Every structure is written in C-alpha cells, then in structure tokens.
Chains A and B, each alone.
Chain A
C-alpha cells in the first residue's frame, strides 16, 4: 500500500511539473506583427493623453545646486526723502555679487492624466567689495546683508486629451535683505501664479497661451504669457520659450549635450528690514534683471548634468518703493506712483555653474 501511494505521488508530481515546464518552453511562438495595426483598447472609453515633453526638450531638473557670480558694477542712487530725513544721492560700486542657488522640483503625482510637481528654491546674493557706499542705506544693506530668496512652488500639468492641456503654477517667495540666521517674517511673502491653455500639435511642438501674476520685473504685474516648445524636424535645433520671462534657441549635439542662447528676465520684490535706517519704514527693493546668455548643458554621469551659463546681466529695475500702511500697491504698466528711491545698477558679465539631477 505504501509503495502504491509513493508511486502515485511521484506520478502526479511528474505530470504536474511537466505541465509547468511546458509553459517555459525554449521556443516562443511568434504572432503576425502586421496585425498590430488593427488593435484597439480592450477597455472601451480608455483615452490617450499628451505628455508635457516634446522631442529633445532639455531635461527637467529635479534637484539643482550651483553658484551664481556677477562681475563688478556701479550703483547710482537718487535722493531718498522720507518724512523725517533725507539721504543724498550717491554713486557706489561693487567688485562683484553672487551666491548659492539651489532647489528642487519633485513630481508628487506623476500619472498619465495629471502631473503635480512641488518644490523649493533658495537664492542668495552677496554684494562684495563695496566702494563709496557712504551713507547710502541701500548700498549699506546690500553690502552688509545681501539679498535672499526662499520660495515654494507647485506646478500642475493636466492633459485634457492627446492634444490639449492646461498648466497652472503657483509660487510663494520670501525675499529680503536677510541671511539664514535672521529670516524675515512670513507676512512679507510675495505670491505669483500663472495659468496656460495649450495644444500639442505633434511630438515636436507644443504651444500655450495664458496669463500670469508675476514679480519678474521687480513689482507685481499681470501680463499675458506664451509657452512654445518646438523642435525642428532635423532634431538639431529647437526653441524653448516662456515669454516674456525667458526664451532660448537650442542646439542639440546629442541627447546629452545641449547648447542654448537666449535671455531670461528674473526679479522679485525684496523687503528691506535689516538695515537700521530703512528697516521700519516699509521699504521694498524692486529688483529686475535681464540676462542674455549662452548655456551649455551636458550629462556627466547618467542623470547628473552639468550646466554652465555665461552672459551679460542688464539692470531692468532696482528702485525702492515704500508701502503706505505697509500694504502693497499695484502700479502695472500705466500707474504713475513715484518711486521712493530711484537707482541704476550698471550692467556686468555673469556666470552660473550648477550640478543637476534631471528627471526621467
């Protein structure tokens, strides 16, 4: 009986495992490849969605860390008149300015039908080698405290179908003449946002139009914006533009070596709080810069990219406003409220080198 039982066990196991072996056959039966033209979704109602990329678009940066440096420049300040005192005009100069720029922009939700990214950025500008700053309170605070921006951002890319999409972005920035050991209160945060509606006509072109609330020119403004990402059919040339904030022409030497030429408008409104003379007077520096530059980006190891920028920094705005009752006001393109202090910053060359972890 025992022998019969054991034989049964062996027989059954052999049959069953033989069947398993036949599933892992050494040969693969092929199917008719030409028939894949005639396939459709197994699920009725399944949809295709467009992606936020076009061919050869520069890779999105997940994490970056770099150093920005500007050469020497002059600062020419007009008279500053406040209720209880007056500061004379003056001409100062700086040997240079620069500091760390770091940040992250991580996908929080990354799906076919929606992409949500969240991140932060950190900018520091130290103004060094000050000369003839005298009693100019602005020049003094720049020299002693520099400027810092700390910000949070969120971006949503929502494809509606395989061609149309919406982009929405929001930023909250804390800008001022502070250093990391004396951060200014959150009440001075400045908020900007943008919304666009667009169409991806093919894998080489996507275009969108929208509106933004922005501080890029130094003070709050509402302006129309246009997104254009386009790659030539030869896959060597392209355009990446979010006008009027930035625009550049791209030359692709390979998927891992890219050269750009273009410009970027950067800026923000900085609360002057840490200067003993201006600190309690509700002053904000409206900083806007236009940077014309070449950028070289290259993969140095898999997804780690080096980015090197060099170009010319042109001063767009460097005036000071005083907020009545400490409340921000809107000037826009047509407002005529006078600036509290008008300044001119000389142009200079600049460079920015960063290491970046880029996105799949």
Chain B
C-alpha cells in the first residue's frame, strides 16, 4: 500500500515537472509584404519584418517551452484590380538572424481572377526554432508575368499551430 502511494506520488511529481502539453493558434493578421518597384518579369521578393508576441497566445508561454510550430494557413490578398492575374506563383518562406530560411507554403499556379490566394502549407516544416526568436523576416517570392513600374504590396494572413509545455 505504502509502496503504491509512493509510486503514485512519484508519478504525479514527474508529470508536473514535465508540464501539460497545450496546443494553441498564433495568428498574424494583415502583415504588409512589400517589394519596391520597378519590378520585372520573373521571381520578385516581398518582405516584412515581424516581431513575435508569444504573450498574446499565453502570457505564461516562454520560447524554451515551445515543442513544435506548424503553419496551418497562409493567405495572401491584394487590393490590385487585376488581382493575381499577373502572378504565376507565390512561395512563402521565413528566416531570422540565427535560424535558417525555411520554405513554408506555395501556390503554383494561381487561378485567375483571385484577389485572395490560399497557399498550401508545408506538411513537414517545423518552425519552432523561428518562434524562439524575437524577430523574424517573412519572405514572399512572387513570380511576375511581365514588368511592373509600381511597388508591389500584399497583405498576408497566417495562422500557426503552436504546441508547447505549460509548467
């Protein structure tokens, strides 16, 4: 009896030290991805610097507790009247000063007459190292059909699924 109680207590201590695993979504809304014109036929790079705010997910969430981060939704929208008619493909990537560039989502080809493109997220890429940084760079490669004199600006909406330990 005493032995069983001891084992149970040990088990509970072990569980509490590991922490509970929690899954929450982190949403980036309306981030401006920008490329300065003039732009030319072929792949062009739009970028945005973004400061992560993990406290918005959970005030108790710290970077070291993150177990995995996956991109679950990537949506790019434009206010251009032509929509994405002149864009052959979009490739979404992210990087930061201390973490390598990761390819995260793609749409190729883009159906005509779209104002909002939904990219297919990577089923494998784990962004946990990126989410342990304070600032990340979002990169969108747009394959342009023909030349463009103006700047190119899109709005990105992204949703990430974060799995973390809460102690």
Contacts and interface: CB of A to CB of B under 8 A. Distances in A.
A29 interface: yes
A27 B40 contact: no
Interface string A317-360: 00000000000000000000000000000000000000000000
Contacts of B40: 30-34
Nearest to A27: B36
Contact of B35 (A28, A32, A34): A28
Interface residues of B, number: 14
A27 B34 contact: yes
Interface residues of A, number: 9
Interface string B34-55: 1110011111110111000000
A15 B43 CA distance: 34
A30 B35 contact: yes
A21 interface: no
A33 B45 contact: no
Q: Main secondary structure on chain A at its contact with chain B?
A: loop
Contacts of B45: 28, 30
A40 interface: no
Contact of A26 (B42, B47, B147): B47
Given A27-B47, A30-B35, A33-B40, 6 more contacts: A26-B34, A26-B48, A29-B36, A30-B39, A32-B40, A32-B41
29 contacts: A26-B34, A26-B47, A26-B48, A26-B49, A27-B34, A27-B35, A27-B36, A27-B47, A28-B35, A28-B45, A28-B47, A29-B36, A30-B35, A30-B39, A30-B40, A30-B42, A30-B44, A30-B45, A31-B40, A32-B40, A32-B41, A32-B147, A33-B40, A33-B41, A33-B42, A33-B43, A34-B40, A34-B41, A34-B42
Interface of B: 34-36, 39-45, 47-49, 147
